[in-house]
A and B are shown apart, each in its own frame.
Chain A
Amino acid sequence: MLFLGRFHPLLVHFPIVLLLTAFVFEVMSRSHHFRGLKFSVLPLLSLGAVSAILSALTGYFISQEGGYDQSTLDRHQWAGIATAVVALAATAAKWRRGNQRGLVATLFIILTVLVVATGHLGAGLTHGRDFLTEYAPWNRQSQTAFTLPVIANPDEAVLYADMIRPILEQRCYSCHSEKRQKGNLRLDGEEFIRKGGDSGSVLDGRDGELCRRLLLPAEHEDHMPPIEREQPSSAEIELIVAWVESGASFSAKVASLENASLIKGYWSILQVGAVPSWLPDHDVAAGDSEAIATLAEAGALVMPVAANSNFLTVDFLNVRSFGQIARPLSRLRDQVVDLRAEGKVLPDSVTSAISELHNLRKLSLANASFNTERIDLSALSNLMYLNLAGTGVGEEMVAGLSGLRNLRKLYLFRTNLTDDAVAQLKANNPGLEVDVGGYDLPVLVTDTLVYRR
């Protein structure tokens, strides 16, 4: 019986296509133009009814395997049976012909609604209830990328609630929670996790089903999450394994566990260095190709930041004369996000054009000479990285720099800003990293100590 049940996913497509086509043909055949189609309706409808009955039967068999959301299953089951019955009735009505056009039409409309409803519920069973609407334009929040909470003091965190559950939620809940219970397993709560699934307990140390399946190679049939899903990183897996090996407590704090240092290590790997992507969220219109060509002719490297992006990165590395640069550069003010003018003598026109690049995220003027009065940082509010190393700029830049709220990295090696000014910039913008350089390595005895036999 279970074997026959496995034919259900194959068979269900027949009644859907046959019954819907029969409906469409029936409607069309009422027009004079397509009246020939009326001869096709009965065969389609009969075949559809037979396949609907077979689908309902095999559907009942496959439901015996279990693992489906019961309320959805019930509704799908009754909708399926109703579809088969109404399809039979419609066939009978059509068969009798006579003056029953009204009855046939009514039955057809009911049947179409039932087919759509049954199909939708059935798809919800296999793909999950939110499958259809997951990426719908009105459903934006479900598209967010994998994120973990920031934990200030990992020692005091409850391992399960603060670290493990957020991972399970984003990696496992779509198939093992209230929504669906593949393999009769739910992972969205202590009692469910303790209960396990069809393959038994999931918490038997490293060899338990949870760790075993996570640790299998992704290509292995038993590996979880299935290979077609987004895979957790090794550090996430190791963290879950460390939790299970520490006894899978649902209330213990990290500090109280024997392998606390290991757990904190994995957690720190998942936390460290999470910086926002430096590109703007939305792409822009393509830059003016004439302006790009003029810049390139003047020796500037003008490159899309990535193959499918309209944002541009511009480098003046090979530029020898800046005569033809300013005008095309300001025409690309929406597109340029990354600009390097290292070691160049910039005429005022170019400095002013740079000040217009409102989308700029990275700007390197290292070792460049330019008129600081002509650079206006106020328009560059999106700037995240600014390199002024070797430019010798001084106090005159402080006011402009203080206005850059999004700035994350500022390089001031070999400039004339005072320590006070730097401290003021840092106080103004707590997220800012300032590097004033001037690093030195002490002279150690070992620097010159030659080891001999």
Chain B
Amino acid sequence: MFDPKHLLNVSRRHFLLESALGLGALALGTLMPGCGRRKEDAIRAMDRVLNPMAPRPPHFAPRAKRVIYLHMAGAPSQLELFDYKPELMKLHDQLCPPSLLEGKTFAFIRGVPKMMGPQANFRQRGDSGAWVSDCLPHFATIADEVSFLKGVHTDQFNHAPAQLFVHTGSPRLGRPSIGSWVTYGLGSENNDLPGFVVLTSGGNTPDAGKSVWGSGFLPSVYQGVQCRSEGDPVLFLSDPEGVDRALKGEMIDAINKVNAEHYKEFNDPETLTRIAQYEMAYRMQISVPEVMNINDEPEYIHKLYGTTPGKTSFANNCLLARKLVEKGVRYVQLFDWGWDAHGTDPATAIDIGLRNKCREIDRPMTALILDLKQRGLLDETLVVWGGEFGRTPMKENRDGKEMPFMGRDHHLEAFTMWMAGGGIKKGVTWGETDEIGYYPVRGKVSVHDVQATILNQLGLNHEELTYQFQGRPFRLTDVAGKVITEIVV
């Protein structure tokens, strides 16, 4: 029943929200009499506030329902893994021609560096004849399952802005990440698990910090939830000592009762959201440890992935990613740190550290593709692999001096990414770089193009998935982006 006293409690923010929804729906109703959908539209708008994670239909019939994004933080060298340049070998140790340096800024290269040939052996693999080096012997056997993008380019030459660019569409802070856009657009399938989960390995979080899985200006429920494979999967998930599950249940009940009273008084839908969040957190205390536990996986799975339960590793994270998408988690983001092969020490040497990093990911990521495939999940799961930029065909000469180890500097003009499953063609190589791998000569695609393609596979039109903020509609790809139709089925 309407009680005028309620009006006294209406805050400005609350009034505006109510007006936007209530009056907006009312106006829509008057403008379009007899339009059958108007009630549903109003309900849907309300539903987004009350239940932000409720599943929503995509713009068009999707090819993929879920995404696993494997990000090699630090930027792996395309010249040692996928982009085979025999001509560069001939130029090894020769001085770099000035034409490649004019007007360019590098993160560390100063003066005139020397060229550096590929430090790996390459072979064409499978029926598709894709080039994969011997750094990735397992992955080489499934080259026919994936599509390579050889001409990806970015415009950021430092890790943090470049990572932000790859994951939020902008090199500056404040924009939502791809996973947030996806859960905002499609909601989450599993009632008991977050829709956007982040797993990190390699001993460090990415340089750009947690903003690469942040929700920016979208409501904060859409941000990624970081899970750990050591200790509590989510921090402070376990009940504190002396508080058992039953007591916790009673506590949540009590809090929800207070909130329900509060809602009766103020009618603020945000209060209902809060009640729902408490309930979800309570359910997650059971469901998250369950899905994050790999101890019960059979032995052949551990052998396939090379996993050791209880440790933090890329292998464990790959297995977890499979378990999460199996449970309907929409977007799983993996970060593996340690790919910044500058050659300052053995761990960052192209011929030492890089090879060790390759060994760490080779078996797990190959196992992930094969395991998704045999479970029939690869058809509807899009797997994306890449770094934030590439590495130079020149040998790094930090401060103009000879380096103790072989390394390569950051390179934005061309790098390699691959995608698999989720409506991506098999065995296609799109894009080609020049003889030394400096510029793309064909099939040049941008970071925004990659993002548009990811959304496209999920049935989302990147130009239509927008959010009104600061007076204009924003989108992941801002004013750019073109779906890379060449690799899409």
Q: Nearest A residue to B431 by beta-carbon distance?
A: A234
How many A-B pairs have beta carbons closer than 8 Å: the answer is 128
Interface flag for B57 (CB, 8 Å) = yes
Q: Are A446 and B359 in contact (CB under 8 A)?
A: yes
Interface flag for B31 (CB, 8 Å) = no
Contact with A along B325-353 (1 / 0, CB 8 A): 01110000000000000000010010111
Report Cα–Cα, A390/B59, bound state, in Å.
33
The B351-406 residues at the A interface (CB cut-off 8 A) are 351-353, 355-356, 359, 363, 366-367, 370-371, 373-376, 379
Count of chain A residues with Cβ under 8 Å from any Cβ of B?
Answer: 50
The B56-94 residues at the A interface (CB cut-off 8 A) are 56-62
Interface flag for B455 (CB, 8 Å) = no
Q: Nearest A residue to B375 by beta-carbon distance?
A: A389
The B280-298 residues at the A interface (CB cut-off 8 A) are none
Q: Are A450 and B356 in contact (CB under 8 A)?
A: yes
Query: Would A453 and B57 be within 8 Å (CB), given that A272-B427, A439-B370 are in contact?
Result: no
Contact with B along A297-325 (1 / 0, CB 8 A): 00101011111010000010110000000
Report Cα–Cα, A437/B351, bound state, in Å.
35
Report Cα–Cα, A441/B487, bound state, in Å.
27
Q: Are B190 and A317 in contact (CB under 8 A)?
A: yes
- A265, A315, A317, A441: the one contacting B367 at CB < 8 Å is A441
Interface centre among A275, A307, A437, by most chain B C-beta atoms within 10 angstroms, is A307
Closest-CB distance, B210 to chain A (whole angstroms) = 28
Report Cα–Cα, A26/B341, bound state, in Å.
86
Report Cα–Cα, A411/B375, bound state, in Å.
7
Classify the secondary structure of A's interface with B: loop
Interface flag for B138 (CB, 8 Å) = yes
Q: Nearest A residue to B355 by beta-carbon distance?
A: A451
Report Cα–Cα, A284/B81, bound state, in Å.
49
Q: Are B61 and A453 in contact (CB under 8 A)?
A: no
Interface flag for A385 (CB, 8 Å) = yes
The B203-217 residues at the A interface (CB cut-off 8 A) are none
Q: Are A439 and B328 in contact (CB under 8 A)?
A: no
Query: Would A447 and B359 be within 8 Å (CB), given that A269-B486, A279-B61, A440-B304 are in contact?
Result: yes
Interface flag for A418 (CB, 8 Å) = no
Interface flag for B183 (CB, 8 Å) = no
Contact with B along A411-453 (1 / 0, CB 8 A): 1010000000000000000000001111111001011011111
Residues on the B chain within 8 Å of A450, using CB: 356, 359
Q: Are B61 and A305 in contact (CB under 8 A)?
A: yes
Report Cα–Cα, A309/B427, bound state, in Å.
32
Q: Are B489 and A273 in contact (CB under 8 A)?
A: yes
Q: Are B375 and A413 in contact (CB under 8 A)?
A: yes
The A339-378 residues at the B interface (CB cut-off 8 A) are 342, 364, 366
Report Cα–Cα, A435/B379, bound state, in Å.
12
Q: Are A315 and B375 in contact (CB under 8 A)?
A: no
Closest-CB distance, A361 to chain B (whole angstroms) = 10
Q: Are B351 and A451 in contact (CB under 8 A)?
A: yes
Q: Are A364 and B374 in contact (CB under 8 A)?
A: no
Q: Are B428 and A307 in contact (CB under 8 A)?
A: no
Q: Nearest A residue to B349 by beta-carbon distance?
A: A453
Residues on the A chain within 8 Å of B373, using CB: 435, 437, 439
Q: Are B485 and A233 in contact (CB under 8 A)?
A: yes
Interface flag for B448 (CB, 8 Å) = no
Report Cα–Cα, A238/B429, bound state, in Å.
14
Residues on the B chain within 8 Å of A342, using CB: 326
Q: Are A317 and B426 in contact (CB under 8 A)?
A: no
Query: Would A306 and B486 be within 8 Å (CB), given that A409-B376, A444-B137 are in contact?
Result: no
Closest-CB distance, B270 to chain A (whole angstroms) = 24
Q: Are A268 and B489 in contact (CB under 8 A)?
A: no
The B119-156 residues at the A interface (CB cut-off 8 A) are 137-138, 141
Closest-CB distance, B399 to chain A (whole angstroms) = 22
Residues on the A chain within 8 Å of B407, using CB: none
Interface centre among A233, A435, A446, by most chain B C-beta atoms within 10 angstroms, is A446
Report Cα–Cα, A338/B367, bound state, in Å.
27
Q: Nearest B residue to A272 by beta-carbon distance?
A: B425
Q: Are B374 and A389 in contact (CB under 8 A)?
A: yes
- B55, B56, B303, B428: the one contacting A272 at CB < 8 Å is B428
The A251-298 residues at the B interface (CB cut-off 8 A) are 265, 268-269, 272-275, 277-279
- B192, B346, B425: the one contacting A273 at CB < 8 Å is B425
Residues on the A chain within 8 Å of B443, using CB: 234, 238
Closest-CB distance, A414 to chain B (whole angstroms) = 9
Interface flag for A387 (CB, 8 Å) = yes
Beyond A269-B486, A413-B376, 15 additional contacts (C-beta under 8 Å) are A234-B442, A235-B430, A269-B425, A269-B487, A273-B425, A305-B58, A307-B59, A317-B328, A439-B304, A439-B373, A441-B141, A441-B366, A446-B359, A449-B359, A451-B351
10 sample A-B contacts, Cβ–Cβ < 8 Å, listed by A number:
A233-B486, A274-B489, A301-B55, A305-B61, A305-B62, A315-B189, A317-B327, A409-B376, A439-B304, A451-B355
Contacts from A to B (Cβ < 8 Å): 233-235, 238, 265, 268-269, 272-275, 277-279, 299, 301, 303-307, 309, 315, 317-318, 342, 364, 366, 385, 387, 389-390, 409, 411, 413, 435-441, 444, 446-447, 449-453
